[in-house]
Amino acid sequence: MSQNRRLAAIASLVLLLGGCAGNAIPRATPPPGGAPVAAIPAPRPTQNNSLIGRSANSALGLFGKPRLDVAEGAARKLQFAGAACILDIYYYPPKQGADPLATHVDARTPDGRDANVPSCIEALRR
């Protein structure tokens, strides 16, 4: 392989791999003087079902122990699973310092297809 072809191949590979790298997201640094950083606003509720706007304790009372309980900052995700479906409930505080409330609920079948949220709720309550 000639020197020019080798350089062209390397340049092409570098460009190709460079396209795979996403934009870097800079880390937030606290403002000088220790002033508090504004909280990221919670997502607005996106669905109308019996879990939206309720606390995690409400879901725990309905379904028992979750399969997953994941916290990230002030946000929380509970996952409940049964033979018919898997239910993910996402909690965010409506304002800084408030208790997180359910803002979004997803349901899917065990093989990953979308499921009807109210039907999944009923199936898991039984």
| 21 is a domain residue | no
Range of the structural domain that residue 107 is part of: 41-125
Q: What is the mean pLDDT of residues 12-27?
A: 48
Q: What is the DSSP letter of 25?
A: -
| 20 is a domain residue | no
Radius of gyration from C-alpha coordinates of the chain: 23
pLDDT, tens digit, 9 for 90 and up, residues 38-93: 444 444 444 446 899 999 999 999 999 999 999 999 999 999 999 999 999 999 99
Whole-model pTM over 0.75: no
Number of domains into which the chain is organized = 1
| 34 is a domain residue | no
| 23 is a domain residue | no
| 83 is a domain residue | yes
